Amino acid sequence: MIIKYQGIKVYYTSAGIGKPIVFLHGFLETGKIWEPFVDELSLKRQVICIDLPGHGRTGTFGEVHSMELMADVVNAVLEELNVQKTTLVGHSMGGYVSMAFAENYREKISGLVLMNSTPEADSEERKITRDRAINLVKRNKNAYIGMAISNLVSPDNAISFEKEIEELKQEAFRISAKGIVAALHGMKIRTDRTKVLKELTFYKIIISGKNDPILSSESVKIVANLSKCPLILIEGGHLSYMENSYVIREIVHFID
Ligand code: MLT
């Protein structure tokens, strides 16, 4: 389904009836990553998957897609669907967007799952990596995508999930360079929301891969501690929804 926000198309899917749960994909992904879970979960709940700005079938809003802008887009979809309160599950960048949403629309959240994600801002070192990535995308977008996605899982899982990773790349190749650069800028300027996470009193959890190459489990342990947020550390790398798909099902049972 499509709505327009600030005159730009926003694509989302909604299936099932019941307590809403919104899934937000990460950088270079689309709402498609959640497809393997939708049929089962939508037997009991309203399952909403949104293509975030610049990704999938959602348009690009400008040079920078801040996490706040992305959260406003999520809110526009919720308003369209008349959803008053929802659980949010955010993978990586989707988790950063969830944190911006938690800050700006706190009354609309009933539960929060940060998957391979963090409430923290980029370190200075990471900001430099973002600038390098922006230059690379401008020079050779597809080479950047191929490399970035290959680096997300352990060598073992790269073999076990070869087909899924190839599909992820094919889907990502369709994302425009402008959309990728806007997300990189947005992630780079995001603020630290550790305090926001700490203050959330409803069901909240961080799920992290022990060998996540993007967010080290040591740094996630520290931030989980600081934000008083329960942490589940599982095997695998940055793509827990793929590498450990059972986790999604378990979480949803927990939330219920
Ligand atoms: C993601 O998977 O969304 C990104 O790797 C997050 C990031 O680059 O910080």
pLDDT digits (tens, 9 = 90+) for 179-212: 999 999 999 999 999 999 999 998 999 999 999 9
Continuous segment of H or E residues that includes residue 47: strand 45-50
pLDDT > 70: what percent of the chain? 99
For ligand 1, the distance from its centroid to the CA atom of residue 184, given in whole angstroms, is: 9
Pairing of strands 109-115, 203-209: parallel
* Confidence grade of residue 256 (pLDDT, cut at 50, 70, 90): low
For ligand 1, the distance from its centroid to the CA atom of residue 44, given in whole angstroms, is: 30
pLDDT at residue 249 above 90? no
Q: Which residues contact 94 (CB under 8 A, 6 or more apart)?
A: 23, 24, 25, 26, 29, 52, 115, 117
Measured distance CA(152)–CA(154) in Å, rounded: 7
Ligand 1 neighbourhood includes 187 CB (under 6 angstroms): yes
Mean pLDDT for 147-158 is 90
Q: Judge if pTM exceeds 0.85.
A: yes
Mean pLDDT for 136-163 is 94
Ligand 1 neighbourhood includes 214 CB (under 6 angstroms): yes
Confidence at residue 130, expressed as pLDDT on a 0 to 100 scale: 98
For ligand 1, the distance from its centroid to the CA atom of residue 91, given in whole angstroms, is: 8
Mean pLDDT over the full length of the chain: 96
Per-residue pLDDT of 17-30, as tens digits, reads: 999 999 999 999 99
Nearest atom in ligand 1 to 116's CA: 2
Residue 156 tokens read as 């073992």
pLDDT at residue 164 above 80? yes
CA torsion 91-171-132-208 (nearest 10°) is 20
Ligand 1 neighbourhood includes 93 CB (under 6 angstroms): yes
Please tell me the residue having the least CA distance from ligand 1 atom 4: 27
For ligand 1, the distance from its centroid to the CA atom of residue 181, given in whole angstroms, is: 13
For ligand 1, the distance from its centroid to the CA atom of residue 74, given in whole angstroms, is: 18
Ligand 1 neighbourhood includes 60 CB (under 6 angstroms): no
pLDDT at residue 68 above 90? yes
Per-residue pLDDT of 32-56, as tens digits, reads: 999 999 999 999 999 999 999 999 9
pLDDT > 90: what percent of the chain? 92
Confidence at residue 246, expressed as pLDDT on a 0 to 100 scale: 86
For ligand 1, the distance from its centroid to the CA atom of residue 148, given in whole angstroms, is: 10
Ligand 1 neighbourhood includes 92 CB (under 6 angstroms): yes
Confidence at residue 63, expressed as pLDDT on a 0 to 100 scale: 98
Confidence at residue 141, expressed as pLDDT on a 0 to 100 scale: 98
